[in-house]
Structure 1
């Protein structure tokens, strides 16, 4: 059983992103999926997507978050994925803004979906980490932004 006692960073951190990108192409990335209600936990046992048993024993000052990198080795990485996905909804005001927005999203390897004219970016880090990359587009009004919460289905 792998014991994890710290978070190495976010999958969006530039220093980690290059290594993670390489591992993704070589099937070296494993995910640990948890419910959003469990983000406050520091100690738990679980099984990763590839079947590895892990035990978390994190310090209080390191909260779990979607996109947290828990392990990074030469041929293996473990990343937290939250089951209920939140999305940053970005709506460009014209074609030029759409092209620039698409360039940023692709260059930064953001996980995206499309909804009509809107680009939805999966939030795998604090929203501020995304908006700072788009500051010029959002501040100028060329791109409108909002957070799209997960859809709730009733029984």
Structure 2
């Protein structure tokens, strides 16, 4: 198992990008894919696209990010890629509906952001799981739903 205890740098850094370019000619750049939600986890076990088992054990103040170079030497490099996030758009039809929706989202610990009066919910599982939790609001017409493209 490859133990990763720090981030070497960004794949966009000039010096690192040159080294990565050279390694890419030999097909020895390995990629780890994680969800955006997992970027805040300082300890996790993952597997690269080449099958290498890796243990990530970073200091708590260090955050993972897309393009982070986690390991590089003459034999290989390991680069982190963050999967694209999908957001469920929930549009309340009134202020009172917005309060109920916000209460539910907070109570369910959903990761959210706001776009005007709409609530955007980060999908960390099937969209239907989220919709089922607020089904009465949807069925009553108090909340309109817009699914992300491709879902």
For the aligned pair, the TM-score class normalised by the smaller chain equals: 0.5 to 0.7
Structure 1 residue 154 displacement after superposition: 6.6
Q: Summarize the alignment of residues 19-58 of structure 1 with structure 2, pairs less than 5 Å apart.
A: 19-58=19-58
**Cα distance in structure 1, aligned partners of 2:40 and 2:148:** 21
Structure 1 residue 61 displacement after superposition: 2.5
| Alignment partner, residue 62 of structure 2 | 62
Count of residues in correspondence between the two structures: 91
Structure 1 residue 60 displacement after superposition: 1.9
Structure 1 residue 78 displacement after superposition: 0.1
Q: Secondary structure at the match of 1:39?
A: helix
| Alignment partner, residue 80 of structure 2 | 80
Q: CA RMSD, aligned part only?
A: 2.0
**Cα distance in structure 2, aligned partners of 1:22 and 1:152:** 38
Runs of 4+ in 1 over 6 A off after TM superposition: none
1:49-98 per-residue CA deviation (whole Å, 9 max, x = no partner) reads 1101100000122210000000001020000001117xxxxxxxxxxxxx
**Cα distance in structure 1, aligned partners of 2:5 and 2:20:** 20
Structure with higher Rg: it is 2
Using structure 2 for the length normalisation, give the TM-score.
0.56
Matched, 1:153 2:115: no
